[in-house]
């Protein structure tokens, strides 16, 4: 598994179904982000099982992501036409409805290869999630095997942690949540933080 954290996020151009249901045959990640934060998540296949619960979990938190300035992008090896059909299928029938972010068609599987989440023998991607900063670099990567669904609230927390670090220059200790103390990244900062919080960790 390649470690992308700290490196530029692999760019890509592919067909995608946009949030308004239109198809963009040349969706480009870098252009779409335009210097904003990004959250790219891979899922195995349309019309499957764990995947719709995750996609709807991202959709249901889009107000939070938008408030944080984060653009969410879903990617799977299905075609844009399969994505569109799934979006047009009611949730009561295993569909998604009109989710509020682009769904990219990785037909060639090259995007999944570039992010090193492709299971070659199965031809599908692992449940990889990549937080991209305004600098275009990957700040966090997270990969689950197929049976394990993601906790989408964790990605909201990580964006908040990244933005706290960028605003205040402090680092975020274990279990940090918005409103918690940060830590100065030096020996005195560690000592001060642990004096106050060691028992809570």
Percent of the chain with pLDDT over 90: 92
Q: Which residue has the tokens 């470690």?
A: 3
Q: Is the pLDDT of residue 199 over 80?
A: yes
List of domains in the chain: 13-150 (3.40.30.10)
Q: Tell me which residue of 170, 165, 159 sits closest to 192, measured CA to CA.
A: 170
Per-residue pLDDT, averaged over 140-153, amounts to 96
* Distance of alpha carbon 195 from alpha carbon 201, whole angstroms: 12
Q: How confident is the model at residue 123 (pLDDT cuts 50, 70, 90)?
A: very high
Which residues form the catalytic set? 51
Q: What is the predicted pLDDT for the residue at 37?
A: 98
CA-closest candidate to residue 40, choices 52, 63, 58: 58
Least confident of 18-27, 32-41, 126-135, 166-175: 166-175
Question: According to the model, what pLDDT value does residue 31 have?
Answer: 98
């Amino acid at each position: 598994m390649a470690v992308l954290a700290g490196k530029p996020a692999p760019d890509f151009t592919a067909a995608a179904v946009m949030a308004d249901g239109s198809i963009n045959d040349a969706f480009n990640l870098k252009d779409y982000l335009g210097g904003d934060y990004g959250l790219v998540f891979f899922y195995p296949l349309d019309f499957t099982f764990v995947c719709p619960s995750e996609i709807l979990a991202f959709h249901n938190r889009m107000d939070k992501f938008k408030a944080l300035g984060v653009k969410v992008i879903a990617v799977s090896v299905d075609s844009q036409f399969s994505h569109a059909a799934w979006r047009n299928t009611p949730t009561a029938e295993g569909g998604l409805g009109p989710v509020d972010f682009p769904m990219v068609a990785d037909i060639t599987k090259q995007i999944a290869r570039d992010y090193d989440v492709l299971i070659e023998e199965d031809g599908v991607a692992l449940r990889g999630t990549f937080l991209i900063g305004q600098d275009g670099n990957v700040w966090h990567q997270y990969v689950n095997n197929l049976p394990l669904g993601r906790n989408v609230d964790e990605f909201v927390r990580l964006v908040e942690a990244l933005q706290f670090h960028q605003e205040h220059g402090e680092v975020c200790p274990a279990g940090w949540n918005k409103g918690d103390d940060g830590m100065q990244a030096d020996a005195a900062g560690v000592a001060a933080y642990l004096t106050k919080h060691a028992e809570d960790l």
